[in-house]
Amino acid sequence: MLARHQDPIAAIATAPGRGAVGIVRVSGRGLAPFVQGLLGRSLQPRQAHYLPFPDAAGRSIDQGLALFFPAPHSYTGEDVLELQAHGGPVVLQLLLARCLEAAQAVLPRLRLAEPGEFTERAFLNDKLDLAQAEAIADLIDASTEAAARSAGRSLSGAFSQEIHGLRDALVHLRMLVEATLDFPEEEIDFLRKADARGQLSNLQQTLAAVMQRASQGALLREGIKVVIAGQPNAGKSSLLNALAGAELAIVTPIAGTTRDKVQQTIQIEGVPLHIIDTAGLRESADEVERIGIARAWDEITQADAVLFLHDLTRLDAPEYIAADALIASTLVQKLSESVPVIDVWNKTDAAARPAPAATAGRAAVQLSARTGQGLDALRRELLRVAGWQSAAEGVYIARARHIEALRAVDAHLMEAAAQLESTGPALDLLAEELRLAQNALNAITGEFTSDDLLGVIFSSFCIGK
């Protein structure tokens, strides 16, 4: 534990601005003398006391509730004092300043908390693990109901329990391998009699299920970036407005109306989709429009999925067909094969004939952005390409680092399985792969985590949490 973790800390624990109630929180070891000096009396543990909060001269700053939580039965695992006052910014700043002033005599090292430091101490004092600590921030930041519920499941320990189950099975398998290494003279084949292959296979199957649920949780947290691309007047802005259910982008018959990106986040079955409307793709002599087109290609190359919008009313125009073909070939050059492109044939309400046959390997949807016909089919297709399977209750929130760690575990278990299946397996290499897999699992819950990673994680929290 670093030296700064020994300092008592204080902060305003509620959001900036005016509110009915605001909280000032103090955490540290041995806060009882500080509480006495600050409030002029002691407090019964875990009981709310309504009393005045005096300044240094004994005048009341405010009246409110004071609660004292002695260690280890507190959020941080240390002594914690909470002052619940009226939620005016000036009142809370006065209370915080008074806490720092009153501490000079009995708690001289009291300082302002850094972002996420209360939760960091909860983690360091084993009140919660790292995955649960991250779930607190994810619960606060949740943009959809499904994301909030999934974050709540992670905070309750559902994800951590899955990781601990995997780890326990992995430790048991490691024990068998290490026993074989330590006692090579024994005739008993520990691995064969203990069905090491079967244990490893079961471990891989369980890991696959955990990875699937974690991937769904990561999707709920992050969403995907979807870029609408196509020629001018294909209906890109109309499609954005239709998906968002609001007039976000200006729609006119004039080609080149959209000069810069317009972005809106929508949700489908709780999955956030960051939809971006871009400038129409064409050759242009207008300098401003050329900049907009360049930005459009920048957005396209960073997309998780692309909606390639076609105008069904112009399928008989040779110049339109040629321009679409040029855009299609450029998409192939600029996009990774892993980025799905959905052909969206717009203006079915005004088209004289149906869309042409779907391009091999690409999904296609016909719709009318003006009437809304076909929008549900597009929403379903977006969920499919995003990888969303269902809004099952078992999904828990997860982060990119969790997914990376689980993939590392999977890779190490595959190497371990290859060693077991080989003739005359190298047990020392098998043991090393299992050890590396366990380390990757431990990194998720924080049992094996660098201080640098902790700094990155908790710095993203708000101050006071």
Instruction: Cite the annotated binding site for K(+) by residue number.
Output: 233, 252, 254, 257
Between the alpha carbon of residue 336 and those of residues 286, 293, 301, 340, 381, the distances in Å are: 30, 20, 8, 9, 19
Would you state the CATH architecture of domain 135-218+399-446? Up-down Bundle (1.20)
Asked, colleague to colleague, whether 3-128 and 135-218+399-446 share their fold, the answer is no
Residues in Cβ contact with 178 at an 8 Å cutoff, skipping those fewer than 6 apart: 431
Cβ atoms < 10 Å from Cβ of 260: 12
What integer pLDDT is reported at residue 31 of this predicted model? 95
Tokens of 65: 């509730």
Annotate 209-243 with b (16+ C-beta within 10 A) or e (fewer): ebbebbbbbbbbbbbbbbbbbbbbbbbbbbbbbbb
Instruction: Cite the annotated binding site for GTP by residue number.
Output: 233-238, 252-258, 277-280, 368-370
Phi-psi region of 42 (alpha: psi -120 to 50; beta: other; left: phi over 0): beta
Residues in Cβ contact with 3 at an 8 Å cutoff, skipping those fewer than 6 apart: none
**Residue 81: helix, strand or coil by DSSP?**
strand
Domain ranges in the chain?
3-128, 135-218+399-446, 223-386
Cβ atoms < 10 Å from Cβ of 29: 12
pTM assigned to the model: 0.75
Contact 150, 217 (CB under 8 A): yes
Helices (H) and strands (E) in the chain, counts: 15, 12
Nearest to 338 by CA among 316, 361, 366, 360: 361
Residues in Cβ contact with 464 at an 8 Å cutoff, skipping those fewer than 6 apart: 11, 12, 13, 14, 23, 25, 113, 118
Distance between CA atoms of 221 and 212, rounded to whole angstroms? 14
Residues in Cβ contact with 109 at an 8 Å cutoff, skipping those fewer than 6 apart: 6, 7, 8
Per-residue pLDDT of the chain (465 residues), as tens digits, is 566 788 999 999 998 888 999 999 999 999 999 999 999 999 999 999 999 999 999 999 999 999 999 999 999 999 999 999 999 999 999 999 999 999 998 999 999 999 999 999 999 999 999 999 999 989 988 878 888 888 899 999 999 999 999 999 998 888 888 777 766 555 446 677 778 889 999 999 999 999 988 888 888 888 889 999 988 888 888 888 888 875 554 444 444 444 457 888 888 888 888 999 888 887 777 777 788 888 888 899 999 999 999 999 998 889 999 998 999 899 999 998 889 999 999 999 888 777 787 777 788 899 998 899 999 999 999 988 888 876 556 688 888 899 999 999 999 999 999 988 887 667 888 889 999 999 999 999 987 655 555 665 566 667 666
Instruction: Cite the annotated binding site for Mg(2+) by residue number.
Output: 237, 258
Would you state the CATH architecture of domain 3-128? 2-Layer Sandwich (3.30)
What integer pLDDT is reported at residue 256 of this predicted model? 46
Instruction: Cite the annotated binding site for (6S)-5-formyl-5,6,7,8-tetrahydrofolate by residue number.
Output: 25, 82, 127, 465
Length of the chain: 465
φ and ψ of 114, to 5 deg: -85, 165
Contact 204, 433 (CB under 8 A): no
Instruction: Cite the annotated binding site by residue number.
Output: 25, 82, 127, 233-238, 252-258, 277-280, 368-370, 465
What integer pLDDT is reported at residue 259 of this predicted model? 45
What integer pLDDT is reported at residue 390 of this predicted model? 65
Would you state the CATH architecture of domain 223-386? 3-Layer(aba) Sandwich (3.40)
Nearest to 96 by CA among 47, 32, 53, 43: 53
Distance between CA atoms of 295 and 238, rounded to whole angstroms? 20
